[in-house]
Amino acid sequence: MQIIEKHVGRALVIHFDNPPVNALAVGGGLVQDIERRVARAQTDNSVESIILTGGSSVFSAGADIADFEGAPERIDAIRVLMQTVENSKKPVVAAIGGLCLGGGLELAVAAHYRVASSTAKFAFPEISLGLLPGGGGTQRSPRLAGAAKAIDLMLSGKAISAAEALEIGLIDRVADGDVLDFALAVAATGLAGLARKSGQLPVPADLADAIEEAEHRPRLTDAGQKIIDCVRAIADEDLEAGLKLEADHFGELMLSETSRALRHAFFGRRMVARIPGGTRAGSRPVSRVTVVGGGLMGTGIAIALLNADLAVTVVEPRPDALAKCRAGIDTSLRRDADKGRISSEVSERRLAALSVTQTLDEAVESDLYIEAVFEDMGAKRDVFEALDRVAPPDAILASNTSTLDLDAIAQFTARPASVVGLHFFSPANIMRLLEVVRGAKTAPETLASAMTFAKRIGKTGVVAGVCDGFIGNRVFEEYLRQAWFLLEEGASPQQVDRALEAFGMAMGPCRVMDLAGQDIGWNIRKRRAVEQPGRPYSKVPDLICELGRFGQKTGAGFYQYPDGRTPQIDPLVEDLIVAHSREIHLDRRVIADGEIVERCIFAMINEGAKLVGEGIAYRPVDVDIVYLDGYGFPASRGGPMFYADQIGLSRLLEKMQQFEGGHHGWAWEPAPLILDLAKKNQTFGDLNR
């Protein structure tokens, strides 16, 4: 962290540098140092103008989020900086290169003139953390860019280009060449008549209409509503009052459970990227990948790899499946181009990087091989024995298995140190999570390479140990177990789904399994019934499958799907469930939505604690990130383990003891880790490191 100050003619250049993202840190003193230098320049007769710059690649990515963990008043230092900049008697120019986000953009709009490189990007991403721009952004940006454009920036959190920022008036010039040289040239030619104090600009003409439109946006969060309230305050033409309202609202949001959960997820994604256990190893570069299996999962994986600009070979022995895979990839990439997500040139380049073949022997040698065949140990054996024969000696061999024993799979090769699990989540080209499974013999270099690869393809890699289901599916198993028991006891599929969706889950369990394919769960349950006879399931989902109802793909599962997508309640399913309850001599009862949520979510927490205690998940936050990025757990609740800390482990144990006295009470034996933490008055958060 440093500031370089230099005089260039009559201009004072203040260049601040806080790698890696040039965060405006209060705790480290950067914010206060910039403010002191701007203030000192006011009495320096050799200075006629001040230029603030953060370098060519990042002007500033915003405030240091670590500062948000203290008292709200800590952020006042940022507000003092913004006021000092705006109140400067000498023109202040922001020379913006690269990213200009959040607090960095607030600093830019507090300046009197803004020059940006053509590659600069601008955004107010605070809403993704349950916050609003707290350094004057809600008051100054609408006066510069108009209320509608500024509100959209703040509510969407999306970035805009320098050209777009210039068009809406957020910046004043786009530099031709080096942005600092351009800013110095502008300052040297004189800023009279150009420099403006944004906080003193008139009320935007579109304010009332923009507020009205924003109020009707769907899914408006508390942070979103407070952003609108702050912008509305501009109508009073009292900047000081508007800034105070903004600061008050920011403080309330900063202390809210939602923002704390979202910040936990932000830091958690950084934490899980660090390989636990002190593993230090170099990683092998991956530029070409072979995907073995051209089904739905293999196709999705191939698209994800091509979108990361990797060369990809898909191996699929069935001609019809291979043709379908190729067509699916082609359709996906061309659709992205048609919708403007990528250019047609990029689409064609990525398609040219794809090759397909029916045999591994015909595949081009690759750095990484990903097996994505049917979830059957015999099928896995065939693939890995073939890989052992054809793959280069230094290649990484990965399995996409979701439940099978990776250590057993590794034994199908003579090089188990090169074997790792890469469990993608469907659809693989969209879902953010990638479970990276470390086997007993997986080499540190192989694991490090897999984690680097995850980052390369834009996934959140989370390391997991070997067990049936790893982190995600092992926890999901207990979640589903309770959902199916609840059906037996008196709930309906739509009630279970409705209650959990109201809690915030992206989709209820019955709808999830209908979407994934009920036969997938059926096959797993049949295997586990043999391996784990002491942990029974309800037979309800099996009865559904016995009718050939496998979900959306067959037009019926727990629900009917007349149009192939939209679930419709099916009386036949309700009759089947009621008949099953009668057959097992279980009197159905009215079940409250609250019980549904507690039993399903608390079962998830209990199993997550067992995984952490066993070392399968290395930290509680690993479980949280798996569920946030792979299973639709509500981001506003921070993940199951974070949520457990919010409700309190003592309360959690009390409820679990109640459930232990009910139907299938054996499932509620508390994880030893929960008992230990509660006894010590500690939390799951205390174990994250």
Positions annotated as catalytic residues are 402, 423, 435, 473
Residue 433 CA to residue 462 CA, distance in Å, equals: 8
Peptide bond into 416 cis (omega under 30): no
DSSP string, 661-684: TSTTGGGGPPPHHHHHHHHTT--G
DSSP string, 137-193: HHHHHHHHH-HHHHHHHHHH---EEHHHHHHHTSSSEE-SS-HHHHHHHHHHH--TT
The answer to whether 560 touches 568, Cβ cutoff 8 Å, is yes
The answer to whether 459 touches 475, Cβ cutoff 8 Å, is no
Residues paired with residue 52 on neighbouring β-strands, in sequence order: 14, 94
Residue 394: burial class (beta carbons within 10 Å; 0-12, 13-18, 19+): exposed
Cα of first residue to Cα of last residue in the chain, in angstroms, is 24
Backbone angles phi, psi at 677, to 5 degrees: -65, -45
Residue 278 CA to residue 311 CA, distance in Å, equals: 32
Helix axes 319-338, 344-352, angle to 10 degrees: 160
Residue 126 CA to residue 157 CA, distance in Å, equals: 7
Say which residue the tokens 């090089």 belong to. Answer: 415
Q: Cβ–Cβ contacts within 10 Å for residue 414, how many? A: 9
Residue 410 CA to residue 246 CA, distance in Å, equals: 57
Distances (CA, A) of 74 to 64, 65, 105, 125, 187: 12, 12, 19, 20, 34
Residue 373 CA to residue 291 CA, distance in Å, equals: 9
Residue 529 CA to residue 477 CA, distance in Å, equals: 13
Classify residue 475 as left (phi > 0), alpha (psi -120 to 50) or beta.
Answer: alpha
Helix axes 319-338, 296-307, angle to 10 degrees: 40
Residue 267 CA to residue 260 CA, distance in Å, equals: 11
Classify residue 9 as left (phi > 0), alpha (psi -120 to 50) or beta.
Answer: left
Q: Name, in order, each residue with C-beta under 8 angstroms of 362's C-beta and a sequence gap of 6 or more.
A: none
Residue 603 CA to residue 302 CA, distance in Å, equals: 35
**Cα dihedral angle (256, 262, 267, 270), rounded to 10 degrees?**
180
Closest CA to 642 of 223, 263, 277: 263
440: helix, coil or strand? coil
Residue 192 CA to residue 112 CA, distance in Å, equals: 11
Integer-rounded Cα Rg, in Å, for the chain is 28
Which H or E run contains 313?
Answer: strand 311-315
Residue 389: burial class (beta carbons within 10 Å; 0-12, 13-18, 19+): exposed
Q: Characterize the bridge pairing of strands 160-161 and 113-116.
A: unpaired
Sign of the CA dihedral running 601, 606, 609, 614: negative
Residues paired with residue 397 on neighbouring β-strands, in sequence order: 369, 419
Residue type, 561: Y
Say which residue the tokens 């490090």 belong to. Answer: 448
